[in-house]
Amino acid sequence: METQLIKFKRLILNFFLIIFISVTSFTLQAAENKILFNINQEIITTVDVSNEISYLRLLNKEIRNLDNKQIIEIAKNSLIKNTIKKIELKKNIKEIKLKDQYLDELIKNMYVKIGLQNERDFKTRLRENNINIEQIKEKISIEVIWNQLIYKKFIKQVKIDKKKIRDSLSNKKIQYQKKYLLSEIVFNIKEKENLNDKTKLIKDNIIKNGFKNSALLFSIADTSKLGGSLGWINENSISEKIKQELFNLQIGQQTNTILIPGGFLILNIDNISKEKKEINFEEEFNKIINDKINEQLMQFSNMYFNKVQKNLTINEI
């Protein structure tokens, strides 16, 4: 009798357990498919946010040091920015698509940057993180074609003092070349925000979570996904205004807030290199010009994005 009673209780318990699992599963599925934002009929869902988190973790391991709420917010902002660019591109071009050969090369650059040796390892990593390769291709295509659009719109407005660059390099066969490994946070302030308060908020977060995590949280630049990393930059390629900010700083220190076209900038010195080098005049000249062109185009990109964003309505559901 006692055995039958135990069996009966187990049966009832299993029954309610099955019901609970089914209801919970249904609730989770409903939550995963929830629409979070609607931007000009382009929607962002909780599934998109989940996928974006996986993508951001793939690109930058530093994001794991943040709490879940911060990570979700970063993913939302990343998706909103990507969607805004996509909407604007559709107004200017027929199709957001790159040639396969070019796209394959960009994907190769991506997996090399995150420390993988070949495409096979990259695809394995994608499967482990439940990331769709087609989504990555779309993201890369949007970024590249957006940059092409910015170049087309603003290249004629880029101003380079070639004479000044030539004069700075003339009669120098050998020089001590100084390079900075830099990371950036580019940010804006909203109507009700105060610059000093926003700067303090970012600086406090840098102390607490580190510069790269702060770039993930606050930077509006495309570099934010990589913790704001700009790579190595030759001192000759840096504007006098920024060079003065960097001059007395040590590795690990940040500049004051710098006003730039399209927002405000904080730079972090990740490393400094100084070496004696024989100068190839034309090579050095062209590199400095390219660096300065890219710097100005990035500022135009931020300005143009801000303008596009203001003309769109972002509906949070």
Contact by Cβ (8 Å): 164, 170? no
Mean pLDDT computed over every residue of the chain: 85
On whether both 186 and 117 belong to a single domain, the answer is: no
* 124 shares a domain with 43: yes
Determine the average pLDDT of the residues in 127-144. Answer: 91
Strand bridging mode 35-39 / 263-278: unpaired
Is the Cβ–Cβ distance between 190 and 224 less than 8 Å? no
Q: Has residue 159 been placed in a domain?
A: no
Domain residues for the domain of 189 are: 174-310
Cβ–Cβ contacts within 10 Å for residue 294, how many? Answer: 15
Q: Identify whether 101 is part of a domain.
A: yes
CA distance 226 to 297: 19
pLDDT surpassing 70 at residue 134: yes
User: Is there a domain that residue 10 lies in?
Assistant: no
Tokens of 21: 């699992």
Radius of gyration for the chain, computed over Cα atoms and rounded to the nearest angstrom: 25
CA dist 169 → 234, 244, 283 (Å): 13, 19, 11
Please indicate, yes or no, whether residues 146 and 182 belong to a single structural domain of this protein. no
Hey, which bits of the chain come out as E strands? 35-39, 42-45, 174-187, 229-234, 258-260, 263-278, 314-316
Amino acid 183 reads S
* 30 inside domain: no
List the structure tokens of 126: 């994608």
**Contact, 150 vs 295, CB < 8 A?**
no
Classify 153 as helix, strand or coil: helix
The amino acid occupying position 263 is G
Indicate whether 196 and 235 sit together in one domain: yes
- Whether residues 141 and 47 fall in one domain: yes
* Cβ proximity of 232 and 189 under 8 Å: no
Q: Are residues 136 and 188 in the same domain?
A: no
CB 315 within 8 A of CB 37: yes
Residue 57 corresponds to which tokens in the numbers above? 């973790």
Do 137 and 187 lie in one domain? The reply is no
State percent of the chain over pLDDT 90: 53
Indicate the number of domains in the chain. Answer: 2
pLDDT tens digit string along 185-230? Answer: 999 988 788 999 999 999 999 999 999 999 999 999 989 988 999 9
- Verify that 215 and 96 share a domain, yes or no: no
Q: Is 167 part of any domain?
A: no
The reply to whether 135 and 198 lie within a common domain is no
| Same domain, yes or no: 138 and 232 | no
Note whether 189 and 302 are same-domain residues: yes
Residue-wise pLDDT tens digits, 14-65 = 444 443 443 343 334 435 579 999 998 899 999 999 999 999 988 888 888 8
Q: Give the C-alpha separation, 247 to 23, whole Å.
A: 61
Per-residue model confidence as pLDDT tens digits over 236-252: 888 889 999 998 899 99
- Tell me: do 203 and 113 sit in the same domain: no
Q: How far apart are CA 61 and CA 55, in angstroms?
A: 11
Q: Is residue 10's pLDDT more than 60?
A: no
